[in-house]
Amino acid sequence: MPRVVQPYYSIRYDGTNGRHIAGVWCTGITFVSDSGDLLTYTDNQDNRRHTVSVGDWLIAWGPAATDPWAVGPAEYASRYYELPE
């Protein structure tokens, strides 16, 4: 029986790429600040603020998503498998 998956996209917040994540990688969120330890962005749909810690991964349905979610490195490694581009 075939398995199918909906594609997710991921990026790791490294403390320097906050502006790229919020507005380029994911156009459905807006950059607020990047302290080098914490990325803060706003969800463009409901205008709520979210924060992501350095080293965490953001996962989204696609580039225009307004609701990416963050997971730590251990959860990312145990739950997700990266496919070649």
CA distances from 32 to 5, 18, 26 (A): 32, 9, 14
Distance CA 39, CA 50 (A): 8
Q: What is the pTM of this model?
A: 0.89
CA–CA distance, 79 with 10 (Å, rounded to integer):
12
pLDDT in tens, 15-63: 999 999 998 999 999 999 999 999 999 999 899 999 999 999 999 998 8
- Say how far apart CA 52 and CA 37 lie, in whole Å: 8
16 by DSSP, 3-state: which? coil
- Cβ atoms of 24 and 42 within 8 Å: the answer is no
